[in-house]
Amino acid sequence: MYTVRNITEDLYYVGGDDRRLALFENIFPIPQGVSYNSYLLMDEKTVLIDTVDWSIAREYMSNVEYVLDGRDLDYLLINHMEPDHCAAIGLMLSKYPNATLIASEKAILFMRQFGFDVDDRYIEVKEGDTMNFGKHTLAFVEAPMVHWPEVLMTYDTKDKVLFSADAFGSFIANNGRLFADEVNWDRDYLDEARRYYTNIVGKYGTFVQKALEKAGGLDIAYICPLHGLVWREDIGYLLDKYIHWATYEPEEEGVLIAYASMYGNTEYAAQTLANKLCQAGITNISLRDVSSTDVSVLIAETFKYSNLVLASVTYNLNIYPKMKDFLNDMAALNVQNRGVSIIGNGTWAPQAAEKMEKFLDEEMRLMDVLPEGLDIVSSLKPSKEADVDAIVEGIKDNMKKRREEKAKAKSQKSGTKK
Ligand SMILES: Cc1cc2nc3c(=O)[nH]c(=O)nc-3n(C[C@H](O)[C@H](O)[C@H](O)COP(=O)(O)O)c2cc1C
Ligand SMILES: [Fe+2]
Ligand SMILES: [Fe+2]
């Protein structure tokens, strides 16, 4: 059988879903699965665009065979050499011995490193090159570090299709759907798309910005990513999300309160703060326990909100390990430009607050650590209420400052345009 769908008259989706994998890259939980997308262009020549993970190779082979319908495969175009997409290259090369590989110079090198016998069966392409296959001409756009250094994006000039590699992808299996307009994307996919982007490509914002600039110069009717759904409507909406993420601009004015607590005292302080923030009108809040929330979720929400509150117990003279993991991940992914309020707790030698502040200062960029903080000293006493109120005011002021800075930058930008 087969699980293919048409995208345009000549272009077919031939990928598939993995709903059994627990951890993507053996690290990120994917409770709703993931898709590995591959596309087959049926022109005067046949061109298979990327392959899939080993886990779905059997279904994939039958999809490709079904669409080819007796024709031979002429070309295998590889945009990205990560094994979740390239595992089936060897299978394809042996099943279709006349197929010629098309890839960047680096991708060919990686193929050899991964042990694929590419022999001299390849054409190397680079930025600006084009190839014609009959009705369709494909143009190649280099997109290094989105998500690996060899990455190409490919643009079909006839049907205005951008094959965007990992960019614009998402977790969540496709489950028979193909287009983003077939689902309630904002409600059901945005969080997982953000979690995918921020954790996997988030570190390379400047490279993504460069790729977005190149994509901005193209007239795009379809975006075909390597994971998740295909876009053919409202592409500006998705681009806008990507611009926020790639430039580390918060999507929303709001607060992620992440707390580390063993016995509930720090949790209670975090809860008290959330309560007071809501009373002050700041209701766009996410309150998360770092011990029970996967760090990939914390990272995604850090990219989403303008403000963070980090509340941690002291643990053996240090930041609580799960909070430290979160901080390390934020730094590794280049998170920047957030207002941060700090709450520390300890019973005999509190260290968490000081160490978190030092980390933000020394290991991260442009983190605006607010002066209002709270030292809980074992449990939150009524005498500390004024400190909690001061944090609320500090966050309010910080949000106002950010709003004003944003408005100023916007008016300067429109001023320079005139
Ligand atoms: C294993 C362990 C190590 C700790 N290390 C320290 C420490 O180095 N310095 C300190 O002041 N408190 C330390 N504490 C105490 C907690 O930080 C403190 O009791 C805190 O109030 C607990 O808050 P919670 O109810 O939110 O878990 C430690 C507690 C545990 C269980
Ligand atoms: Fe990748
Ligand atoms: Fe991927």
> How far does residue 168's CA lie from ligand 2's centre (Å)?
12
Percent of the chain with pLDDT over 90: 97
pLDDT of residue 410: 87
| Pair of tokens at residue 361 | 């200062």
Q: Which two tokens stand for residue 393?
A: 């005011």
Arithmetic mean of pLDDT, 75-80: 98
How many alpha carbons fall within 13 Å on the CB side of residue 297? 14
Indicate whether residue 313 lines ligand 1 (CB < 6 A).
Answer: yes
Instruction: Judge residue 131's burial from the number of C-beta atoms within 10 Å of its C-beta, 0-12 exposed, 13-18 middle, 19 or more buried.
Output: middle
Q: Where are the alpha helices (DSSP H) in 305-343?
A: 321-332
Mean pLDDT of all residues in 401-411? 93
Classified as helix, coil or strand, 116 is: coil
Structure tokens that stand for 69 in this block:
């319908």
pLDDT of 163: 98
Give the pLDDT confidence of 137-156 residue by residue, as tens digits.
Answer: 999 999 999 999 999 999 99
pLDDT at 253 over 80: yes
Residue 315, pLDDT above cutoff 90: yes
Report residue 305's pLDDT band, with 50, 70 and 90 as the boundaries.
very high
Rounded mean pLDDT of 7-27? 98
**pLDDT tens, 83-116?**
999 999 999 999 999 999 999 999 999 999 999 9
Beta-strand ranges (E) seen in 197-317 are 222-224, 252-260, 285-289, 305-315
The angle subtended at Cα 321 by Cα 318 and Cα 34, nearest 5°, is 155
Please report which ligand is nearest the Cα atom of 201: 2
Question: Residue written as tokens 């700090």?
Answer: 342
Tell me how far the alpha carbon of residue 151 lies from the centroid of ligand 3, in angstroms.
11
Q: Averaged over 162-172, what is the pLDDT?
A: 97
Give the pairing type, strands 100-103 and 339-345. unpaired
pLDDT of 284 > 80? The answer is: yes
User: Does 222 score more than 60 pLDDT?
Assistant: yes
Tell me the torsion sign for CA atoms 105, 108, 112, 117.
Answer: negative
> What is the CA(271)–ligand 1 centre distance, in A?
19
Tell me if 345 CB under 6 Å of ligand 1.
yes
The rounded radius of gyration (Å) of the Cα atoms in the chain is 24
> What are the angstrom distances between the C-alpha of 126 and each of 55, 297, 322?
30, 36, 43
Give Cβ neighbours of residue 358 (< 8 Å, ≥ 6 apart): none
Q: Ligand 3 mean position to 50 CA, how many Å? A: 11
Give the mean pLDDT of 366-370.
96
pLDDT of residue 416: 64
Distance from the CA of 45 to the center of ligand 2, in angstroms? 27
User: Which range, 193-197, 214-218, 410-414, has the best average confidence (pLDDT)?
Assistant: 193-197
pLDDT over 60 at 306, yes or no: yes
Atom of ligand 1 at shortest distance to CA of 377? Answer: 21
Ligand 1 atom at shortest distance from the alpha carbon of 378: 21
Ion ligand 2 neighbours (CB, 5 A) are 82, 147, 166
- Structural element, H or E, at residue 418: none
Q: Which atom of ligand 1 is nearest to the CA of 349?
A: 11
pLDDT, tens digit, 9 for 90 and up, residues 33-43 = 999 999 999 99
318 CB under 6 A from ligand 1? no
Cβ atoms 299, 329 nearer than 8 A: yes
Which pLDDT does position 371 carry in this prediction?
98
Mean per-residue pLDDT, 218-222: 97
Q: Which atom of ligand 1 is nearest to the CA of 264?
A: 25
pLDDT, tens digit, 9 for 90 and up, residues 338-367: 999 999 999 999 999 999 999 999 999 999
The answer, yes or no, to whether any atom of ligand 1 lies below 6 A from the CB of 264, is: yes
The environment of the single-atom ion ligand 3, i.e. residues with CB closer than 5 A, is 84, 166, 226
The CA angle 160-162-165, to the nearest 5 degrees, is 170
Predicted pLDDT of residue 413: 83
Average per-residue pLDDT for the chain: 97
3-state secondary structure of 149: coil
Which residue's CA lies nearest to atom 21 of ligand 1?
378
Q: Give distance in angstroms: CA of 398 to centre of ligand 2.
A: 36
State residue 185's pLDDT score.
97
> Would you say residue 417 has pLDDT above 60?
no
Question: Which of 261, 262, 271, 323 maximizes ligand 1 atoms within 8 Å of its Cβ, making it the mutation to test the pocket?
Answer: 262
Quote the ligand 3 centre to 168 CA distance (angstroms).
Answer: 11
- Above 90 in pLDDT, residue 125? yes
Say which ligand is closest to the CA of 37: 3
pTM of the model: 0.95
Work out the number of other CB atoms within 10 angstroms of the CB of residue 207. Answer: 18
